[in-house]
Amino acid sequence: MNIEEFRQFCLSMKGVTEGLPFDHNTLVFKVLGKIFAITDLDDFESINLKCDPEKAITLREMYPEVKPGYHMNKKHWNTVETDGKIPDTLFQEWIRDSYDLVVAGLSKKDRDSLK
């Protein structure tokens, strides 16, 4: 998955916006103001994704490209390398999981607005 495919996939989900809130190089995707994905625009070497804590540990054990979230809460976030070893279908699944976890934490009113 290249950065444009990643970007398009993220933006295809309801309520998603993109921005550069930290600096000119850190691309952030949010659903209704809550972050679910972060990457580096220049290098696109990895993506930070929210993950269920138990699943996060399992993925780290299964894939050497999956590590505890860089500059994030290590319990709830993974950093996934984008070196081509992880199939795009898995990346999409993990991005969707991250989005769904964030949506699940929204208020009922906000969740309903995404339907």
pLDDT tens-digit readout, 35-94: 999 999 999 999 999 999 999 999 999 999 999 998 899 999 999 999 999 999 999 999
pTM for the model stands at 0.96
Average pLDDT over residues 11-32: 97
Cα separation, 78 vs 30, whole angstroms: 16
Confirm whether 115 is domain-assigned. Answer: no
| pLDDT score for 115 | 87
| pLDDT score for 54 | 96
Q: Which domain holds residue 86?
A: 3-106
Confirm whether 28 is domain-assigned. Answer: yes
Does residue 8 register a pLDDT over 90? yes
| pLDDT score for 99 | 98
Assign residue 33 a region: left if phi > 0, alpha if psi is -120 to 50, beta otherwise?
Answer: left
User: Total structural domains in the chain?
Assistant: 1
Confirm whether 76 is domain-assigned. Answer: yes
| pLDDT score for 24 | 96
Confirm whether 58 is domain-assigned. Answer: yes
Confirm whether 24 is domain-assigned. Answer: yes
Confirm whether 113 is domain-assigned. Answer: no
